[in-house]
Amino acid sequence: MSATATITFDTAANVSHPSQNSDEAIAAKVSKIAFSFMDKRLNTRVFVDDVDFTPDDIVDSSFPTMMDTFSHAAFEVRVRSTVAIVKDKTIADTGDGGPKVFATTISLDDIKIDHTLNTEEGYPPDDVDLDKAPSAFYLPRRDPPMSYPPNIMVVFKETETVFLLDLPSFSFDKGTPEGNAVEEANEFYNYITVGKGRNRKMVNEETQTEPVVVQSRHTLAVRPQKKNAASFASVWDMHDTYEKLKLARAREVPDEMVLYQSADARLLRKKKIVDTGPRRGKTFQEIGQTHNFYDAVMLTERVLAAKAYSDAQKVFRGLIPMDPLSLDLVYVYTIKRLWTFECNETDGHPVVMMAFNPRNKNILAVAYGDIGCEKYFNGLLAIWCTKNPIKPERLYRFDEPLTSIAFSAKNPNWLACGFSNGDVIILDVTSYDTKIVAQSTRDTNPSFEPIWTVTWRAVDIDNEYVLTTGQDGRVNRFTSTKTHDFICTPMMRLSTVEGSLKGLQVTKACLKVDVPINRHPAGHCIMWHPRISHIYFVGTDEGCIHQCSKNYLNQHMDVFRAHAGPVYALHCSPFMENLMMTCGADGAIRLWVEGIDDVIMTLNCKGAVYDAAFCPINATIILTVSTNILSIWDLRRKTHIPCAEYTLTEQGILTCIKFGARGDSVFVSDSMGKIHTFHLEDTPIPPYDQRKMLDDAIKKVLCTRPYLLKQLEKMAAYQKRHP
């Protein structure tokens, strides 16, 4: 049913007429039925203070006028004046003074509202109220286009009822012709809806219509009241939800309603049933073997460990900083023990190497192997987390002892591992089981001896390769392919150096017959050049440093002698790129400057130095491990003896040392399978210009060798001209 509203506006306004026509003459003109009141509106002008405020014509020529569709008697027949002049809100009446009645007819069903328009555009935001939420839509605030009269008369009239669908109910006696026809119709309806006839051949056709929603003012409703409500979902809740959705699979089973048809089985319609995967067991034997259980246990252990090591974790995270204005501050270079990484599985297994994850500095990979002990150990790899010092979060076992490990920078979950039999693998540490991404084969890998160093190098944005050095003096390149093959490519074969060398001058051995057994020294350590991408340095067991390039195969670019015994570590200063540090079995730590053949500085220890590290936050502090002693050196304080020495273990020796991400935490491993964690305290406050402080400390040490100072000044001047 639709309704037509006749709205009558009753106003008491009086208008003045510039013309002096009488009421009788005006009534005679209006008496003509064919005259359109819309045409008469065009002749009406409105002036306010001699300014024309007459509105434009609202009638479009492409649409029929209201007079053409006029069929009701509610329209006015009284005459309206042709010109109205209003001055300063004072209205004068020259007519009969009676009320003027204006009438119009608007069909509310003809109003179209386009749902695609954005009704919020241009609407200024209100003050945020947390109790009352804003509406989903609203109309822009605009002033009304006209002022409404004080009295409005609305007349509603009922229109003719239109039946769109009529389904009369029929009932007949059973057995009559009419009843039999109704039963046949009911049986046919059941056949095509729920019976076998519902599987009849059907053809689907698509069509496109204009998405226009037509609404009238009758369908407009009051805006619903809304209110904000708080809800919480943790990251783990969302993770579990999305993991369940990934496991959900839609499987198809034959429909039992069509099994009795004679059609081919492949033509029968399938019924889709959502399968959420294997159901979770209820016993511990079923639950305890799932990765979800391992993850839950890992998080629980982290929470319990954080409670047990609360004070140590605060110091490790830097939540208790050192006060630089403290009156009792003294520079005595002390270390404070935080915790020790050890468990029953790793007890007694020597630690051969440690590696921090480049993406997450809380993840520490530790390789346990054989370093020449009397007892043979199988390979063991543990992934520790600084949030859980009690137990490793991953533990992998191998048949052969591990010798070296390194994380990938492009894929932080990949860990390259070298073994004592020459094998190299890439391990995915995100898996609880031993998941090998790539593994070398004997068809391409010619090495049968221990791999002492593995390192990653990027080819481009997406590709990386592994570079290894071994006991047989081979420098090999391993590349992983899409078919998971680990192809080995020889890059360099180190050769024994004869004659006099640059660098350290050692006493020549007095031998009657010099017949070397091995012509290829072992490569114990490797370091890439900090500025030149194709150059790398290799330290050998004969105490030499070979400068090689990946562009020149089977020959080195330069070589110099650094130690009287094997070179165990090779590092570059983070504050001065041309400053290199080496340590070896002769009990010395030596500093070298690229471009100068002589050694810059020598630090002597009591025994063989197995590893050393530059402090990342203080350019002049160096930490070394020799036998079972941890030594702290400060180049600007003294170089003849360490500033502090600490004996960490009575059994075994110290093997590796690493600084944490913040630079004030130290990780030291030993041959008994323990990783000691310390916090470095009571050290000098780092200056603003670290490089200048390091340069001044080196020049202070070289004050007795002026020729080296001149070389350093020349190199500094050259680097300024050619940065």
Average pLDDT, the chain: 78
- Residue by residue, DSSP assigns 73-112 as TTS--S---SEEEEBTTB----S--PPEEEEEEE-GGG--
Q: If you average pLDDT over residues 68-97, what whole number do you get?
A: 43
- Phi, psi for 426 (deg, rounded to 5): -115, 120
Give whole-number Cα distances, 671 to 356, 368, 386, 648, 677, in Å: 19, 9, 21, 12, 15
pLDDT of residue 529: 92
Burial 387-397 (b: 16+ CB within 10 A, else e): bbbebbbbbbe
More confident residue, 567 or 716: 567
Res 77: pLDDT? 44
pLDDT at 21 > cutoff 60? no
**pLDDT over threshold 50, residue 79:** no
DSSP 685: P
**pLDDT-derived band at 513, boundaries 50, 70, 90:** low
Pick 387 or 258 by higher pLDDT: 387
Q: Are 371 and 352 in contact (CB under 8 A)?
A: yes
Q: Residue ranges of the domains in the chain?
A: 1-196+212-228, 240-275
Q: DSSP assignment of 340-398, as one string?
A: EE--TTTTTPPEEEEEE-SS-TTEEEEEEB-SS-SS---EEEEEEETTB-SS-SEEEEE
Task: Give the C-alpha separation, 586 to 571, whole Å.
Answer: 17
Q: Is the per-residue pLDDT at 510 higher than 80? A: no
- What pLDDT sits at residue 131? 53
Which residue has better confidence, 445 or 506? Answer: 445
Residues 388, 392: Cα–Cα separation, whole Å: 8
How many other β-carbons are positioned within 10 Å of the β-carbon of residue 324? 7
Distances in Å between the Cα of 679 and the Cα atoms of 79, 130, 317, 362, 665 are 101, 47, 10, 15, 5
Mean pLDDT of 345-363: 92
What are the tokens at 453? Answer: 């160093």
Q: pLDDT tens-digit profile of 131-164?
A: 555 555 555 566 656 666 778 788 888 888 888 8
Residue 218 has pLDDT above 80, yes or no: no
234 pLDDT more than 80: yes
In this prediction, residues 546-568 reach a mean pLDDT of: 89
Is the CB of residue 46 less than 8 Å from the CB of residue 56?
no
Structure letter (DSSP) for residue 284: H
| Encoded tokens for 51 | 């300014």
How far, in Å, CA of 484 to CA of 477, rounded?
A: 16
Whether the predicted model's global pTM rises above the 0.85 cut: no
Which residue would you say has higher pLDDT here, 106 or 188? 188
| pLDDT the model gives residue 5 | 38
Interval 21-37 mean pLDDT: 46
* pLDDT reading at 644 higher than 90: yes
Q: What confidence score (pLDDT) does residue 15 get?
A: 41
Q: What is the pLDDT of residue 621?
A: 94
The pLDDT confidence band at residue 462, using thresholds 50, 70 and 90, is: confident
Which tops the pLDDT comparison, 489 or 461?
489
107 residue type, one letter? S
